[in-house]
Amino acid sequence: MGAVVIAMGRNQDSLKRLQQHFSSTGRLITVPMTGTFEGDVAALRDASSSSSISGSFSAFLDLSPPAAADNTYFQAIISLLKYGGRVALMGGMKDGASIP
């Protein structure tokens, strides 16, 4: 389908293994979560600028567990969606999520 996928996570070792496994495709970029909105936005922009994405996203698939309700990455990614971008929420944030 030609998609470039950005995978965010807290576990650096898991991100490294994921990157190594899919490195031959050239379609996966891993980004560690920073824990702050500004840091996550900067990390996502930096990662996307090195690909054909160019700083904004067409789609966002969220698989967050209920414990991730107080996160920073969700708002960061939503703020970088292109106009008309799509969001698929497959996780289960217990208290909901605020959408900027």
d(C-alpha 54, C-alpha 97), whole Å: 26
From the CB of residue 70, how many other CB atoms can be counted at a distance below 10 Å?
10
Task: Compute the mean pLDDT over every residue in the chain, rounded to the nearest whole number.
Answer: 82
**Low-confidence winner among 18-22, 41-45, 96-100 (lowest mean pLDDT):** 96-100
pLDDT tens readout for residues 33-82: 998 999 999 999 888 876 666 667 888 888 877 777 678 888 888 888 88
Per-residue model confidence (pLDDT) at position 41? 92
Residue 93 dihedral angles phi and psi, to the nearest 5°: -65, 120
Q: Which residue has the higher pLDDT, 57 or 96?
A: 57
Rounded to two decimals, the pTM is: 0.80
